[in-house]
Amino acid sequence: LRDALVDAVRAAVPEAILGGDPAPGGRLPANAHFTFPGCEGDSLLLLLDAQGIECSTGSACTAGVAQPSHVLLATGTAPDLARGTLRFSLGHTSTRADVDAVARAIGPAVERARTAGLS
């Protein structure tokens, strides 16, 4: 299911940057982390939330912190890119319909977030 989510996001937003090891076996099975250049993660979060899609702008231990990930910054990620990240987590109740909902919503959300610009 995670691989279907990754494929769906990459198809909808080809310039999205997948975080972590690009090999499917090199990432956590229920997690997908993306950077969306030119977007504020908070804008994407709100736009997707309005469509019932739950995601986060940081790791689970830093949820709610309104700053770019210190881990991404420490790895040399530019602050504007670090601010445009989202984490999608899948659980035992996640379904293909959830992945399909992300696939439909992510492209338009990225377009709207880019139009709003980085603050």
pLDDT tens column, 83-106:
889 999 999 999 999 999 999 999
What is the model's pTM? 0.84
If phi > 0 it is left, if psi is from -120 to 50 it is alpha, else beta; for residue 57 that is: alpha
Superfamily for 2-79+107-116? Aspartate Aminotransferase, domain 1 (3.90.1150.10)
What is the greatest pairwise CA distance in the chain? 36
Q: Is 61 a catalytic residue?
A: yes
pLDDT band for position 81 (cuts 50, 70, 90): confident
Supply the mean pLDDT for the chain.
86
Among 61, 66, 74, 97, the active-site one is 61
CA angle 90, 84, 14 (to 5 degrees): 75
For the chain, domain boundaries: 2-79+107-116
* pLDDT digits 0-9 by tens, 6-62: 999 999 999 999 988 888 788 888 999 999 999 988 899 999 999 999 998 865 544
